[in-house]
Amino acid sequence: MTTIVIYHNPECGTSRNTLALIRNSGVEPHVVEYLKTPPARALLIEMMGCAGLTPRQLLREKGTPYAELGLGDELLSDRALIDAMMEHPILINRPLVVTPLGVKLCRPSEAVLDILPDAQRGAFTKEDGEKVIDPSGRRVL
């Protein structure tokens, strides 16, 4: 059985679409609502490394205390940015998905298709009406 973990925010459309794409591959992932249960610091650092992301690349600006905390300062260290994410999990961009094929920040949501081990099982349309997968399970380009 394939184990997939999604660090999810149910209030985020991109996160909901990503979760739906995972389920469309026939897998029920382990869903971690990261605002309620943030990843431990070591796990966050490990996921960033596996995804090839720097702390700044994982940092979310919109709808967060990013500006108030002065996180746009390019002189801030990676440690300081990670400290901010640990104190304010809303600063962690989402959704982060972990599969046997890798770790990825899935923005846009269809980026998850690159790391899903199983094919899509049918058509999929995003919440905004954009068709992503055709009825045969193939990606719409």
User: CATH number of the domain that 106 lies in?
Assistant: 3.40.30.10
Domain that holds residue 109: 5-133
What are the structure tokens assigned to 74, written together?
Answer: 């390019």
What are the structure tokens assigned to 116, written together?
Answer: 């899903």
- Structural domain contains residue 117: yes
- Structural domain contains residue 64: yes
Domain count, the chain: 1
- Structural domain contains residue 35: yes
- Structural domain contains residue 61: yes
Catalytic site residues?
Answer: 12
**Neighbouring residues of 29: CB distance < 8 A, sequence distance ≥ 6:** 4, 5, 6, 19, 22, 23, 97
- Structural domain contains residue 141: no
- Structural domain contains residue 76: yes
End-to-end CA distance of the chain: 30
State the pTM of this model: 0.95
Q: From its phi and psi, is residue 110 left (phi > 0), alpha (psi between -120 and 50) or beta? A: alpha
- Structural domain contains residue 127: yes
Query: What is each CA distance from 89 to 3, 23, 26, 29, 75, in whole angstroms?
Result: 24, 25, 29, 21, 21
- Structural domain contains residue 139: no
pLDDT of the chain, 141 residues: tens digit per residue: 679 999 999 999 999 999 999 999 999 999 999 999 999 999 999 999 999 999 999 999 999 999 999 999 999 999 999 999 999 999 999 999 999 999 999 999 999 999 999 999 999 999 999 999 999 999 998
